[in-house]
Amino acid sequence: MKPAARQPVTTTVQSTSIEGGRRDPLVRLPIIIAAVFLAAGNEDFGFDPAGYLDPFMHLGYFWHYPAHLPALDHDYKASRLPWILPGYVFHWLGDPAAASIVLVFATLAAGGVALYLLVRDIAQDRAAAAVSAAAWTSCTWAHGIGGWNYQVLAATDYFLVATWLAFRAATTGAASSAFLAGVCAAAAAHTHLQYATFVPLLALTFWSGLPGGTPSVQRLVRDGLWGLAGAIGITVALGAVNAASGGDWLFFMPQIVRAQYLMREDIWWLEARVWVPAATYLVVPVAFMIAALGVLFRTDPPERLRPKRTLIVQAWLALGIMCFTQFARRKGTLDQSFLAFPVYAYGFPCIGILLASRRNMPRSVVVAAASITAILVPLLLLMPATLPRVMTDAVTLFGATGLPPVVPPLAVALIGCTAMMVARGSARLIVFGLWFGLVNAWIAPAPSAYGIHTPGYRRQMVELFREADGLTTAFDPRLDGIKYWFPDNERIALPDADIPLGWIFDSYVSTRGWMGNLLGHASAVPLQKLTREDLQTAVCIGLLTSPRTSGQLEIAMQEHFAGLGVPLRRVTIRHLKSRSIAFDLTLLKPADAPQRFGPPCLR
Amino acid sequence: MRSRAVTRQLHLPVLAACIVAALLTPPRRSPDEQLRRRVLVNLRADPATAHLSLRLAMSSAVATISGQITDSAEHARALAVVEGTTGVMDVIDELTISDRVIVQRVKEAFLGDPTVGQIPVSVTAVAGEVTLHSDQTNDTQRRQLVQLATRVDGVVHVVDAMK
């Protein structure tokens, strides 16, 4: 065959209606992207850094949910059952690294798939849905605070699925969709209570999907009741699990009590001037929402425009709710990155709506692929060092070094949005991929978690924590007999740089309730300030040190308490060591404590 | 219908991706389980412990051994076998001498003593705590009986309920 005789092959990504074709291979895209990030071989990807408390407390629940329950059932963190129970099951099935990887993969992929389905069905444009889902799965803030050990990405996944199902219930009339929307909405609220304030917005989603004209009251009541049944059903099921595990039926009450307390006085609440200048985590969703305002002025066919416009309005309503809580009620909702993450639940659908073609115009699959490539390349090939260095140089070149950190990336994002809106047709997807890929990598909270085969320590740290956990659980099965201590001025050597030992200490002790198991009831009490009274609640002392100083600090601890009339003896010492990180854990107990049957540190 | 189609499309790639993720994780046979099996093999290979019905748990190379033994020689030997297995870093001892054996040994100790051997004494034991009942003893005999019981292997404490 002569080359000239070949017919040109044009592959297009057809826009699709909800009743369209049954096969949709693009729905697999977020799954593939999540797998690519994990396969790139970054040891830090999906694992939390040393020094974090909350994710490691949650990790402790995954490891010891039944053991924690008697002590921590009234803790608001333990009441996030739609998230803690799957985490417990996966960690029970496999080793901690594998369980974390599977959970991170599942949360990233599930959110991307949900976003794809939502944008596809509302905007009726598969290319736009694919690009926005790729952006979601590649979003560096979702990786940072959305790793499975933090609850917000899982909650956002539940909410995105609920939003899609609510829209689907409206368009198809399927009672099962309404029921499942209720299930997912309740799961989102139980996982992160902020989503309870978004539940009324789901009613708007449902309304926007209803066929034209005034919906029948019968239809509204029927689907509303199905949704309610789903929400009550999952709540009762989780309550039954909690009660069967020895906890309360009303497992969700601690979160509500906590929220009420914080509404009265939130000691962590920050003034806007403190957090806004550094709030790079808001750059992407806010830029998306500002750009999407353009959709309100479009002249698409009215039937198609209603769900799109409704979604944009919902995004701003959601931000309004969070702003009201932050600024009027003075409860932190936007001043911390993980608290602000629900903004993403509507921010990303907004960009999908904006990217969608107005009238089912076919899109080249090559264009969509190029856009997705532009999103992925900076993370995989220009990180962890090249892109941050280039962007720092660029900021210096433009004389913007004195500006608050949030300004340069926001400026680039808004310029990118403007260019995107000026661009027509498929070019809009390319422009989006270029600016989002750049900004997304630039504002990454953990640049070291990207690139290909980047070394790290976080995964090894979790594996060492699990080894220490096995040791201390054997000696102290109820997890309250060992009180932990570390020398405040020590550092732990890593391949790249040292980190304070206290970061490792805080994260490890967080897996066993943290505050309740600190010797001296604080994280870094100087040795000389420890008293006999500090031993009253301790059967054993757990001494976390660097390998270099464990011997001398053990002696110093023994001399200190011998001086107080309580000589100590060593129960055991464990050298915890991996390729990148090492620390020692020594258990001591009063020398005159009676020898007794069973675990030596059991209270 | 469509949700079924979506589900059908999703479950295979999800499963495949999970397998990929699992494969990316370095294969990890449970070192604790391997170590536990080695210790059990050693316990069965030792003539002094082979006949014992012992339970063994392993957590981060900390062995917790429990079960009932008959005397301190068996106790010491079982602990030595566990501690001597390469890889075991700590041993938590939950071995106990059975209460039935303790009662029998206490009674034998009483019968073997010419001064108190003929006195009817009821002996009970719970978790190594022995209680002596009798209404035919004087102070000297009671002291002697308590002393004899205390010396018996496995006795943790003696409660004197004699008159």
Q: Is the pLDDT of residue A563 over 50?
A: yes
Read off the pLDDT of residues A216-266 as tens digits, 9 standing for 90 and up. Answer: 788 889 999 999 999 999 999 999 999 988 888 999 999 999 999 999 999
Please give the Cα distance from A402 to A395 (Å, whole number).
Answer: 9
Read off the pLDDT of residues A302-359 as tens digits, 9 standing for 90 and up. Answer: 777 889 999 999 999 999 999 999 999 999 999 999 999 999 999 999 999 999 987 6
pLDDT at A412: 96
Q: Do A113 and B10 lie within an 8 Å CB cutoff? A: yes
Q: Is B15 on the interface with A (CB under 8 A)?
A: no
In chain A, which residue's Cα lies nearest the Cα of B8?
A23
Q: Which of A498-502, B12-16, B118-122 has the lowest mean pLDDT?
A: B12-16
Q: Is A212 on the interface with B (CB under 8 A)?
A: no
In chain B, what percentage of residues exceed pLDDT 70?
82
Q: Is A31 on the interface with B (CB under 8 A)?
A: yes
Q: Give the containing element (helix H, strand E) for A288.
A: helix A283-292
pLDDT at A9: 39
pLDDT at A66: 79
A35/chain B closest Cα distance in angstroms: 6
Q: Do A18 and B2 lie within an 8 Å CB cutoff? A: yes
DSSP A350-392: HHHHHHS-SS---EEHHHHHHHHHHHHHHHHHSTTTHHHHHHH
Average pLDDT in chain A: 90
b/e per residue A206-222 (b: at least 16 CB within 10 A) = bbbbbeeeeeeeeeeee
Q: Is A455 on the interface with B (CB under 8 A)?
A: no
B47/chain A closest Cα distance in angstroms: 25
Please give the Cα distance from B155 to B144 (Å, whole number).
Answer: 16
pLDDT at A140: 94
pLDDT confidence band for A69 (50 / 70 / 90): low
Inter-axis angle of helices A96-123 and A342-355, nearest 10 = 40
In chain A, residues with a C-beta closer than 8 Å to the C-beta of B9 are 23-25, 27-28
Give whole-number Cα distances, A238 to A110, B3, B80, in Å.
21, 25, 47
Q: Is the pLDDT of residue A301 over 90?
A: no
CATH 3.30.1340.30: does it fit domain B31-97?
A: yes
Chain centroid to Cα A58, Å, comes to 12
Give whole-number Cα distances, A77 to A82, A83, A219, A304, A314, in Å.
12, 10, 38, 41, 28
pTM of the model: 0.86
pLDDT confidence band for A464 (50 / 70 / 90): very high
In chain B, residues with a C-beta closer than 8 Å to the C-beta of A482 are none
Q: Is the pLDDT of residue B157 over 70?
A: yes
CB of A452 closer than 8 Å to CB of A40: yes
Among A541, A600, A543, A597, smallest CA distance to A574 is for A543
pLDDT at A302: 73
Q: Is the pLDDT of residue A389 over 90?
A: yes
In chain A, which residue's Cα lies nearest the Cα of B26?
A98
Please give the Cα distance from A207 to A171 (Å, whole number).
Answer: 9
Read off the pLDDT of residues B78-128 as tens digits, 9 standing for 90 and up. Answer: 999 999 999 999 999 999 888 899 999 999 999 999 999 889 999 999 988
Average pLDDT in chain B: 86
Residue indicated by tokens 């416009």: A309
pLDDT confidence band for B23 (50 / 70 / 90): low
User: Measured between CB atoms, which of B5, B62, B96 is closest to A470?
Assistant: B62
CB of A36 closer than 8 Å to CB of A375: no
Please count the other Cβ atoms lying within 10 Å of the Cβ belonging to residue A393.
10
In chain B, which residue's Cα lies nearest the Cα of A574?
B89
Output the CA angle A339-A341-A342, nearest 5 degrees. 100
In chain B, residues with a C-beta closer than 8 Å to the C-beta of A94 are 22
DSSP A97-118: HHHHHHHHHHHHHHHHHHHHHH
pLDDT at A7: 41
State the amino acid at position A88 in one-letter form: Y
* Token couple for A473: 């659980």
Q: Do A474 and B59 lie within an 8 Å CB cutoff? A: yes
Instruction: Please indicate whether the domains covering B31-97 and B99-162 agree at the CATH topology level.
Output: yes
A324/chain B closest Cα distance in angstroms: 37
DSSP letter for A214, please: P
Output the CA angle A586-B96-A468, nearest 5 degrees. 20
CB of A55 closer than 8 Å to CB of A147: yes
Q: Which of A192-196, A299-303, A433-437 has the lowest mean pLDDT?
A: A299-303
Interface test mutation site (partner A, options B1, B9, B32, B97, max chain A beta carbons within 10 A): B9
In chain A, residues with a C-beta closer than 8 Å to the C-beta of B18 are 102, 105-106
User: Measured between CB atoms, which of B21, B28, B89 is closest to A35?
Assistant: B21
Please give the Cα distance from B30 to A88 (Å, whole number).
Answer: 18
In chain A, which residue's Cα lies nearest the Cα of B61?
A471
pLDDT at B67: 92
State the amino acid at position A447 in one-letter form: P
Q: Is A248 on the interface with B (CB under 8 A)?
A: no
Q: Is B4 on the interface with A (CB under 8 A)?
A: no
pLDDT at A144: 67
Interface test mutation site (partner B, options A18, A105, A107, max chain B beta carbons within 10 A): A105
Q: Is the pLDDT of residue A393 over 80?
A: yes
Q: Is A32 on the interface with B (CB under 8 A)?
A: yes
In chain B, residues with a C-beta closer than 8 Å to the C-beta of A45 are none
Report, as an integer, the average pLDDT of A34-48: 89
In chain A, residues with a C-beta closer than 8 Å to the C-beta of B17 are 31-32, 34-35, 105, 109
DSSP letter for A518, please: B
State the amino acid at position A232 in one-letter form: I
CB of B63 closer than 8 Å to CB of B89: no
B145/chain A closest Cα distance in angstroms: 25
pLDDT at A1: 35
Interface test mutation site (partner A, options B59, B79, B155, max chain A beta carbons within 10 A): B59
In chain A, what percentage of residues exceed pLDDT 90?
69
In chain B, residues with a C-beta closer than 8 Å to the C-beta of A576 are none
pLDDT at A300: 73
pLDDT at A6: 40
pLDDT confidence band for B18 (50 / 70 / 90): low
In chain B, residues with a C-beta closer than 8 Å to the C-beta of A572 are 62, 89-90
Report, as an integer, the average pLDDT of A434-456: 93
pLDDT at B11: 60
CB of A137 closer than 8 Å to CB of A34: yes
Q: Do B90 and A24 lie within an 8 Å CB cutoff? A: no
Please give the Cα distance from A359 to A318 (Å, whole number).
Answer: 28
User: Measured between CB atoms, which of A466, A473, A572 is closest to B90?
Assistant: A572
E strand map for A3-122: 12-13
Q: Is the pLDDT of residue B28 over 80?
A: no
In chain A, which residue's Cα lies nearest the Cα of B59?
A470
In chain A, residues with a C-beta closer than 8 Å to the C-beta of B89 are 572, 574
Please count the other Cβ atoms lying within 10 Å of the Cβ belonging to residue A318.
23
In chain A, what percentage of residues exceed pLDDT 70?
93
Query: Where do the structural domains in chain B lie, given as residue ranges?
Result: 31-97, 99-162
Q: How many contacts does A have with B, using Cβ atoms within 8 A? A: 101
Starting at the earlier edge strand, list the strands of the sheet with B90-97: B54-59, B62-69, B90-97
E strand map for B17-128: 54-59, 62-69, 90-97, 122-126
Q: Which of A62-66, B29-33, B56-60 has the lowest mean pLDDT?
A: B29-33
Give whole-number Cα distances, A249 to A188, A227, A245, B96, in Å.
18, 21, 10, 39
Q: Is B126 on the interface with A (CB under 8 A)?
A: no
Read off φ and ψ for residue A43, nearest 5 degrees.
-70, -20
Q: Is the pLDDT of residue A26 over 70?
A: yes
Burial of A248 (0-12, 13-18, 19+ CB in 10 A): middle
A260/chain B closest Cα distance in angstroms: 39
Residue indicated by tokens 């830029």: A287
Read off the pLDDT of residues A565-590 as tens digits, 9 standing for 90 and up. Answer: 999 999 999 999 999 999 999 999 99
pLDDT at B17: 61
Q: Do A35 and B14 lie within an 8 Å CB cutoff? A: no
E strand map for A196-340: none
B52/chain A closest Cα distance in angstroms: 19
Chain centroid to Cα A231, Å, comes to 23
Read off the pLDDT of residues A141-175 as tens digits, 9 standing for 90 and up. Answer: 998 665 556 889 999 999 999 999 999 999 999 99
Q: Which of A300-309, A414-423, A515-524, B58-67 has the lowest mean pLDDT?
A: A300-309
Q: Which CATH class is domain B99-162?
A: alpha beta
Read off φ and ψ for residue B67, nearest 5 degrees.
135, 180
